[in-house]
Structure 1
Amino acid sequence: MKTTKNKSTKQITESDGEKLKELFVDGLKDIYWAEKHLAKALVKMSKAATSEELRSAFETHTTETEGHVSRLEEVFGMIDEKAQAKKCAAMEGLLEEGTEIIESTDKDTMVRDCGLIMAAQKIEHYEIASYGTLRNIARTLGYPEVADLLQTTLDEEGTTDHKLTELAEMYVNEEAHAE
């Protein structure tokens, strides 16, 4: 059994590395499922949005999310794993929450848009946490190119989150408050 030392001088065995890779692959399967289901949900969120700017943001992120799915498929290939999805309970719950917001708010209102932004930002924060963690594990496992791809997605998720905050602060929250 091969061993190496990390910065804290703890012995890391080859089997430990395999366990970490299994965790990494499991995390990839989880976010792969999440992205595939999010792409479908974003179409519904776009149709439910009142403001053209929010609708456009959801449409743009739908296209980006489809790219995230493709990028994850590339990552699976780079580590010699089959691109396979594993149900992501967290994303399932977040998407369900988005559906509940649509169903519980009046159509063509800024209150609905405010709720959609809230739901979308919860999703973005989950994705940001997932991609950041996966990027760090990829670096630890010695997959710098994989880490770079995951960083690209992480950057896009951060940009989307920022755009949603801007929309909320520019006018959505104030108009929702006035309704």
Structure 2
Amino acid sequence: MGLFSNPIRTLDDLFVHTLQDIYYVENQIVKNLPTMIGKASDPALREALRAHLLETEGHVARVEQVFGMHGQPVKGKDCPAIDGILTEAEDIMGDCDDAEVCDAAMLAAAQAVEHYEITRYGTLVAYAKQLGRADCAGVLAQNLEEEKAADAKLTSIAESRVNRMAA
């Protein structure tokens, strides 16, 4: 148990812990996406990142809604995993000399973030259902579906243009 953490003894505790994790994650993404948007040279990638920033702001609001529905205070919990993914993305963007290669690197980093979010939201939906909280599961499932759609859009952009241009 972390120094300032509550013990995780029940599935409900784990649900709240994971909810705090994804809340932190979504807020870090809101903070970091504008930098990626500014550095993206490919118009389709830039637009996809811009659209996902708006979606992510909605994800934050939905997670806050679930905290309220579950009777918990809105609170994030540091997530070393997402911090690592975002630090790696920053490092790669700083090392890229070629804009098209940088686009491919940013796209890969964005997909790493999406995949992390997909796993977290999938887990949260499963926990919510197991806890008898279909209401929470329904709200979280909306975020999950949007994350899957964002990942599919990024894959399409990578395969149709960005990776080819970087080669």
Larger RCO (CA under 8 A, 6+ residues apart): 2
Choose which of 56, 67, 76 in structure 2 pairs with 1:76.
67
- C-alpha separation between the residues in 2 aligned to 1:33 and 1:173? 30
Choose which of 22, 31, 36 in structure 2 pairs with 1:40.
31
Deviation for aligned residue 1:98: 1.1
Larger radius of gyration: 1
- C-alpha separation between the residues in 2 aligned to 1:175 and 1:95? 24
> 1:29-108 alignment to 2 at 5 Å?
29-106=20-97
Cα deviation 1:119-173 (Å, max 9, x = unaligned): 0000000000000001000000000011011110000000000000000111111
Deviation for aligned residue 1:82: 0.4
Q: Which amino acid aligns with 2:76?
A: A
Deviation for aligned residue 1:117: 0.6
- C-alpha separation between the residues in 1 aligned to 2:129 and 2:104? 37
Is 1:26–2:17 an aligned residue pair? yes
> Quick one: percent identity of the two aligned structures?
43
Q: Which amino acid aligns with 2:52?
A: H
Cα deviation 1:66-108 (Å, max 9, x = unaligned): 110000000000010001011011111111111011101125x
Gaps of 5+ in 2: 1-8
Match of 2:150 in 1: 160
What number of residue pairs does the alignment pair up? Answer: 159
Choose which of 119, 137, 153 in structure 2 pairs with 1:129.
119
Gaps of 5+ in 1: 1-17
Q: Aligned-pair RMSD on alpha carbons?
A: 0.9
TM-score computed with the length of structure 1 as normaliser? 0.87
Q: Which amino acid aligns with 2:81?
A: A
